[in-house]
Amino acid sequence: MLVRYLGHSAFYVRGESVSFLIDPFLTGNPKAVGKIDDFDDVDYIFVTHGHGDHIGDTQEIARRSGATVVCNYEISVYLSRSGTKCHAMHIGGSFEFPFGKVKMTPALHGSDIESSDGVIPGGVAGGFLIEVDGRKLYHAGDTGLTLDMGLLKEDEVEVAMLPIGGNFTMDVEDAAKAANLIRPNHVIPMHYDTFEAIEANPEEFAAAVSGTVDVVIMTPGESVEFPLVEVLDQ
Ligand code: NI
Ligand code: MN
């Protein structure tokens, strides 16, 4: 699977039979690299929670591409009102999509939606465990550290995206603990340096988990193919 980092918590993923976005916050994201019309061919958009830096451009991209939005039930009710096609799920639930199984995982965070009618309830925040080409990807969404993350160890996650920016989510230290609980093959730090309140050093995160989990620090716009091809030292 190809994983392209779009800045903040936004990713584009392309597998053999599917392409999707996760938390496509492009407009208003100072770190964003992609534009709305770059994603006219996506099949799905995964939204972890209702905050603006995660719903982002979901409605506009879904309208242009015809993509199905996978999100919690409350966000699906909100998005469906404007005609967005949604597949509602909820925490702990799994569903077999044509490309693989998806499970909505818990997150310790809020999920209210800032709509034009003011702030409306958006259920609870989550994350996603997504099967692509037979391998599992885990996007934690926005969350504090939980011991529950240790349950993901059994899933043998290929690549985990974890927030490291602190203030609203785990910081470097807690994200390192999370990586040690989950033990994915690779971990990509996210949700840092977009705003002043979430400044963090991904190298510090890499140092904190070195020896246990491989850290892939991605700059916005960069793409990586997983599983990584071994590069032998010359
Ligand atoms: Ni949030
Ligand atoms: Mn956020």
CA 189–ligand 2 middle distance (angstroms):
13
Q: How far apart are CA 93 and CA 72, in angstroms?
A: 10
Q: Which residues contact 200 (CB under 8 A, 6 or more apart)?
A: 164, 165, 166, 171, 172, 189, 192, 193
| Ramachandran angles phi, psi of 43, nearest 5° | -90, -35
Give pLDDT, residue 117.
87
Residue 36 has pLDDT above 70, yes or no: yes
The pair of three-digit structure tokens given for residue 106, joined into one six-digit string: 């818990």
Percent helix, strand and coil across the chain, each rounded to 5?
A: 25, 30, 45
Q: pLDDT digits over 72-95, tens only?
A: 999 999 999 999 999 999 999 999
CA 148–ligand 2 middle distance (angstroms):
20
Q: Which residues contact 119 (CB under 8 A, 6 or more apart)?
A: 112, 113
CA 230–ligand 2 middle distance (angstroms):
33
CA 177–ligand 2 middle distance (angstroms):
20
CA 9–ligand 2 middle distance (angstroms):
7
Q: How far apart are CA 121 and CA 113, in angstroms?
A: 6
Place 210 in a pLDDT band, splitting at 50, 70 and 90: confident
Sign of the alpha-carbon dihedral angle for 6, 46, 206, 196: positive
Residue 17 has pLDDT above 80, yes or no: yes
CA 143–ligand 1 middle distance (angstroms):
8
Q: pLDDT digits over 148-193, tens only?
A: 999 999 999 999 999 999 999 999 999 999 999 999 999 999 999 9
Give pLDDT, residue 211.
87
Has this prediction a pTM greater than 0.85? yes
φ/ψ region of 16 (left if φ > 0, alpha if ψ in -120 to 50, else beta) reads alpha
> Do residues 84 and 63 make contact, with C-beta atoms less than 8 angstroms apart?
yes
The residue that leads in pLDDT, 117 or 218, is 218
CA 153–ligand 2 middle distance (angstroms):
24
Give pLDDT, residue 229.
66
Give pLDDT, residue 103.
98
CA 129–ligand 1 middle distance (angstroms):
18
CA 211–ligand 1 middle distance (angstroms):
30
Q: pLDDT digits over 143-158, tens only?
A: 999 999 999 999 999 9
